[in-house]
Structure 1
Amino acid sequence: MKTTLPIQKYFPTVGPIAYGCMGLGGQGPHLTGTDVMQAHSVIDCALESNICFFDHADIYRDGRAEQVFGKVLSERPDLRANMVIQSKCGIRKKNDEHVGRYDFSSQWVQHSVDGILSRLNIEYLDVLMLHRPDPLMQVDELAEQIFHLKKQGKINHIAVSNMNLHQMSFLQSALDMPIISNQIEISLAKLDWLNDGVMVGSQGNHLVDFVSGTLEYCQQHEIQLQAWGSMAKGQFSEQGLYSDELRVRKTSQLVKNLAHKYHVSGEAIVLAFILRHPAKVQPVIGTTQERRIKNAVEAIDVCLEREDWYNLYVTSRGNPLP
């Protein structure tokens, strides 16, 4: 299924699927040779599958995901030219002194970006993504810091994660560069992004966990929607056929049937469901299994028929549409 993504305005070589690096870096607390070998293999598999967009965050594996990626780049610096690298900052994990919190202060964003670049062993980020909204954000201060990072040559573009249209609009009002993407949870299992639209004026609409208009805002302003959790944690794979939950069993069986119909893997059907939406969502896959990476990219060539798409949607909802 050929489509032009909003993000291809900035990165023409980027494809419909991104690779999320949250699974790299082992179990810690220190990197091992096995961790480095795995990272080499996974990165090679992604690139060979025409996935060149790599998504990081400074908190993934407490920084080890970036460290092991940087180790690969230090050993094979030629790979960098074929990659678009994104990383996130803003989440500060709980420690002995502080509760877990979010931080978009100028000092923390600068500190975070410097740490990200050091761990990844790169000179600049293609995309800096703000990880989760900080209630104490001073928008002018943050915008000034982003401008400073851009001027320093440490970032090329800015993006957000887990923001609604009002938060994006407010931040954009202070920025002199466009927000190019927004990464939110979207999958066949997490359906509030769809339920928001179909439940308008219906009983139970107040239970939908999604801010109305966010999809449309991103489409209108050519902001790339990225889907974290896109593979639904594998719950609709073969193991889903034996789930205690009827909805999951029925959806898993449907995925299996459609995989047979379209001659692809189950992973491809789960992602094709997302790709079929006109918002041109870019799924971020996080598996470290090379087989599943290869299965996932099969989704690019699948265009689900309308009745198949709706069958997946309603079955996974577990309830008829209003």
Structure 2
Amino acid sequence: MRTITLGASQLKVPAVAVGCMRINALSPKEAETFVQTAMEQGAHFFDHADIYGGGECEEIFADAIHMNSDVRERILLQSKCGIRPGSFDFSKEHILSSVDGILQRLRTDYLDVLLLHRPDTLVEPEEVAEAFDQLERSGKVRHFGVSNQNPMQIQLLQKYVKKPLVANQLQFSITNTTMIDSGLNVNMENEAAVNRDGSVLDFCRLHDITIQPWSPFQYGFFEGVFLGSDKFPELNARIDEVAQRYNVSSTAMAIAWILRHPAGMQPVVGTTNLERLKDCCEAADITITREEWYDIYRAAGNILP
């Protein structure tokens, strides 16, 4: 699989990341096969979070991949922290304890990337910076980023955090395109012109922050998958049409559409279906045309000004 550079770091990562949120739905043998399949496809960047399965997903992954020092050298691990039951917590104490728990469950000495999960409005950025400094000095975390944050929230953190934040994990799919819509409808009197995220797409591009789209097949907020849905007949017809030109599946085309954007995004695919996982990985080698990209965008119900 082709690689991209993660943010302003020197870290080369696969163009497609493997999300492990649903790995606890698999049997031990199925989980092992899932991880092996990802590795065979060159998708050796695995995304976790301490809340996935209450931490169980990280433990299952470590068992499935038979974690040891040799295995660890061949993979990249990212995890997230900051969500607690009923609240968010970016305190130094919570970040440090969360990372210790993550490392223990993954049976590793370090994370390649740590992301702060959803924004904590009570954040004290100086504390975050202290936590990050301590984690880097101890060798427990090599790179840092955020998830679901807007430009001003990132700038507030970056004022104190020494290392550049390399990633921002955001919801994005063919049917969830708000970060694109407002930029296409500047100065227009329509719903699409509403800037809901502070121009986060342009901000991340300007500051070399890799956007990691999550739920790349979902519409709404986990309302369902748009592929094959009778709610999106025109979109599915267009995706299928373009997919046939490239002799790939609609799954691959949905990911190829994201990868076509010059922002250099790294979609996080959460499927545990082996064939769909292979299709997602195949998308890294597909480059659709500008016309095909806009055709699919419009077929999702988006109107160009």
TM-score by length of 1: 0.88
Aligned partners of 2:243 and 2:106: how far apart in 1?
37
Q: Which amino acid aligns with 2:294?
A: Y
Secondary structure in 2 aligned to 1:156?
strand
Distance 1:70 1:275, change over 3 A: same
Which residue does 1:177 correspond to in 2?
Answer: 163
Which residue does 2:203 correspond to in 1?
Answer: 217
- The aligned runs of 1:257-276 (5 Å cut-off) are 257-276=241-260
Aligned partners of 1:107 and 1:25: how far apart in 2?
28
Which residue does 1:235 correspond to in 2?
Answer: 225
Give the drift of 1:235.
2.8
The alignment status of 1:278 with 2:257, answered yes or no, reads no
Match of 2:122 among 125, 128, 136: 136
Match of 2:36 among 27, 34, 44: 44
Aligned partners of 2:266 and 2:185: how far apart in 1?
24
Which residue does 2:236 correspond to in 1?
Answer: 252
Q: Which amino acid aligns with 2:256?
A: A
Which residue does 1:315 correspond to in 2?
Answer: 299
The alignment status of 1:166 with 2:152, answered yes or no, reads yes
Distance 1:8 1:291, change over 3 A: farther
Secondary structure in 2 aligned to 1:22?
coil
Distance 1:3 1:120, change over 3 A: closer
Secondary structure in 2 aligned to 1:159?
strand
Secondary structure in 2 aligned to 1:128?
strand
Aligned partners of 2:278 and 2:66: how far apart in 1?
26
Unaligned runs of 5+ residues in structure 1 are 27-33, 94-99
Which residue does 2:15 correspond to in 1?
Answer: 16
Q: Which amino acid aligns with 1:60?
A: Y
Match of 1:293 among 260, 277, 282: 277
Match of 1:62 among 37, 43, 54: 54
Aligned partners of 1:229 and 1:106: how far apart in 2?
29
> Contact 1:196 / 1:212 at 8 angstroms: preserved in 2?
no
Secondary structure in 2 aligned to 1:82?
coil
Which residue does 2:111 correspond to in 1?
Answer: 125
Secondary structure in 1 aligned to 2:303?
coil
Which residue does 1:109 correspond to in 2?
Answer: 95
Which residue does 1:97 correspond to in 2?
Answer: none
Number of aligned residue pairs: give it: 301
Distance 1:2 1:306, change over 3 A: farther
1:275-322 CA-partner distances (Å, limit 9, x unpaired): 111111111101001100111122112211111111110110x24212
Identity of aligned residues (%): 38
Aligned partners of 1:191 and 1:198: how far apart in 2?
11
Secondary structure in 1 aligned to 2:174?
coil
1:17-76 CA-partner distances (Å, limit 9, x unpaired): 0000001112xxxxxxx6321221111111111111100000011111111012234466
Secondary structure in 1 aligned to 2:14?
coil
Aligned partners of 1:85 and 1:208: how far apart in 2?
36
Give the drift of 1:4.
4.2
Unaligned runs of 5+ residues in structure 2 are none
Aligned partners of 2:275 and 2:66: how far apart in 1?
26
TM-score by length of 2: 0.93
Aligned partners of 1:207 and 1:38: how far apart in 2?
45
The alignment status of 1:72 with 2:71, answered yes or no, reads no
> Contact 1:184 / 1:225 at 8 angstroms: preserved in 2?
yes
> Contact 1:71 / 1:121 at 8 angstroms: preserved in 2?
no
Distance 1:195 1:64, change over 3 A: same
Secondary structure in 2 aligned to 1:215?
helix
Give the drift of 1:11.
2.1
Q: Which amino acid aligns with 2:304?
A: L
> Contact 2:82 / 2:118 at 8 angstroms: preserved in 1?
yes
> Contact 1:73 / 1:80 at 8 angstroms: preserved in 2?
no
> Contact 2:182 / 2:193 at 8 angstroms: preserved in 1?
no
Aligned partners of 1:133 and 1:86: how far apart in 2?
18
